[in-house]
Amino acid sequence: MDYSHVNDETLLQLIARSQENALSELYDRYGRLVYSVAMNSLADAERAEEITQDVFVRVWEKAETYRVEQGRVATWLTSITRNRCIDILRHSRARHENLLISWEEAENLDPPSPQNVEWEVDLAQSQRQVRWAVSQLPEEQKQALGLAFFQGLSHPEIAQTLGEPLGTVKTRIRLGMQKLRQLIQAEPQK
Amino acid sequence: MVIEEHATEWLPAYALNILTEEETSKVAEHLASCPACREELRLYQATADEIPLAVKQIAPPPALKGQIMDKIHSRQMKNADSIQPTFWQRLEAILRVRAPALGLALIVLLALGNVLLWRQLNLSKNLAVTPMRVIALANTTDSPQAAGTLIMDQRGEYGTLVVDNLATLDPGKQYQVWLKRDGERVSGGVFSVNSEGYASMEILAPMPLIQYDSVGITIEPAGGSPGPTGAKVLGGDIPH
């Protein structure tokens, strides 16, 4: 059974009805994204693998809880991934040494498949927009946002980690999010 | 921390979920009574949701997918041991495993709605209260020998397609199912037939099948097309 033309929402409906091939297709689409989020958050390949397994097993068990109003399926998956990673980091109080999140270059996109299916086109368009938007932020805002998003560090923790005043960190996060919001809604530069 | 007219200053960090417990509860309290800040927060949350798409992509180990699928499969097997299969699972299993002749014989039984005989066959306790809808598909001049049937559950939500005597296609081609509603078509999945021209598959659709006007099958490039491009081989209306 070929699910490559099935949209993400229908894939989840099929997973909710215990179609293993549908989960296999969902992994092909988003396994790399989920693993990448976990790796950037934990900087530990073994734990990133565990998190990726947890996320897809959870999808298998909870697919029926997904609602379109919650956002896209990709967003749902990365949100589960991020929350699991931050839980681990907060419980273990472990922070990895690498304080710089690896952002993808704006122009780096996976080559589209020859089938050019709708979900791939949508995902590529979103990636292009967000990568371009992040590339427009000053380095210090990117760094503060990365620590907040991928490690769940609070303002004081980020300030302590970077050796910067608390007020400066708060401003960087706020300005970074404001700019990102404006840029994501804008058209990427050609 | 003091929130005066609006919590604008705190919303980006609230959306990132990095405020302290005390800060979070103050912002939440304000949000409960401020629609403007709720809307502002929605936009920040949408922004935060997009951030992972910008992270550097790292390929997972190739073996990881197999490990996940093994885990899922073993859970599935455990459930199968403890839970009686549903009617649809039994039907699908029968249609997939048995010879085409048996599959078609079952469909004839369904078409006749012979509930008593089904009971005798003990295939489903549920069938007496959930008779199915059976739709015979018409062949075309491009496939004069083809036969096809769409079997839907009583509510018309789900359906399984069974086809026979369709031509075996070149490797670069597959059959694609189309569901039409108000003149617009969506794909219901692609399939290939065996050497006898037989196949069965579950129809995949964003909406319950009953909400579509008709179903059709065309020949398309392998993997399917965004819209029908090849010859139609089977089709039929879906009665509401």
pTM: 0.63
Do domains A1-98 and A100-190 share one topology? The answer is no
Note whether B98 and B184 are same-domain residues: yes
Query: DSSP label at B223?
Result: T
Closest listed residue to residue B148, CA positions, set B111, B93, B112: B111
Confidence of residue B180 (pLDDT cuts 50, 70, 90): very high
Note whether B151 and B207 are same-domain residues: yes
The domain of B21 spans 8-54
pLDDT for A137: 93
Contact A97, A89 (CB under 8 A): no
Query: What chain B residue is nearest to A25 in terms of C-alpha separation?
Result: B65
For residue range B36-84, list pLDDT tens digits in order.
999 999 999 999 999 999 988 899 999 999 999 999 988 877 766 555 5
H helix or E strand, kind and range, residue B22: helix B21-32
Of A31, A48, A177, the CB nearest to B44: A177
Confidence of residue B125 (pLDDT cuts 50, 70, 90): very low
Pairwise pLDDT comparison (B5 vs A12), residue with the higher score:
A12
CATH architecture of A100-190: Orthogonal Bundle (1.10)
Of B18, B190, B206, the CB nearest to A155: B18
Instruction: Give domain limits for chain A.
Output: 1-98, 100-190
**CA distances (Å), origin B68, targets A39, A139, A143, B17, B19:** 17, 37, 33, 29, 34
Backbone angles phi, psi at A151, to 5 degrees: -115, -5
pLDDT for A111: 55
Note whether B197 and B111 are same-domain residues: yes
For residue range B204-228, list pLDDT tens digits in order.
888 889 999 999 999 988 878 888 8
Backbone angles phi, psi at A44, to 5 degrees: -150, 110
pLDDT for A117: 67
Q: Which of A46-60, B34-48, B119-133, B138-152 has the lowest mean pLDDT?
A: B119-133
Q: Which residues pair with B149 in a beta bridge?
A: B136, B162
Q: Which of A10, A46, A131, A158 to mutate to test the interface with B (most CBs of B within 10 A)?
A: A10
pLDDT for A115: 58
For residue range A38-84, list pLDDT tens digits in order.
999 998 999 999 999 999 999 999 998 888 877 889 999 999 999 99
The yes or no reply on domain A1-98 and CATH 1.10.540.10 is: no
For residue range B81-99, list pLDDT tens digits in order.
555 555 555 555 555 555 4
Residue B57 touches partner A, C-beta closer than 8 Å: yes
Contact B223 A181 (CB under 8 A): no
Residue B63 touches partner A, C-beta closer than 8 Å: no
Contacts of A134 in chain B (CB under 8 A): 51, 54
ipTM of this predicted structure:
0.87
Of A5, A10, A78, the CB nearest to B224: A5
pLDDT for A71: 82
- Would the pLDDT of B130 be above 60? no
Distance CA A170, CA B155 (A): 55
Closest listed residue to residue B37, CA positions, set B10, B60, B16: B10
Note whether B92 and B40 are same-domain residues: no
Note whether B156 and B221 are same-domain residues: yes
Number of domains composing chain B: 2
Contact B18 A154 (CB under 8 A): yes
Distance CA A142, CA B233 (A): 55
Provide block-wise average pLDDT over 10 residues at a time, chain A (190 residues): 81 88 94 95 93 96 84 91 89 62 68 62 83 91 93 91 93 95 70
Contact B160, B95 (CB under 8 A): yes
H helix or E strand, kind and range, residue B216: strand B214-221
Q: Would you say residue B18 lies in a domain?
A: yes
Confidence of residue B122 (pLDDT cuts 50, 70, 90): very low
Query: What chain B residue is nearest to A110 in terms of C-alpha separation?
Result: B57
pLDDT for A129: 87
Mean pLDDT of B7-22: 90
Q: Which of B6, B53, B184 to mutate to test the interface with A (most CBs of A within 10 A)?
A: B53
pLDDT for B158: 84
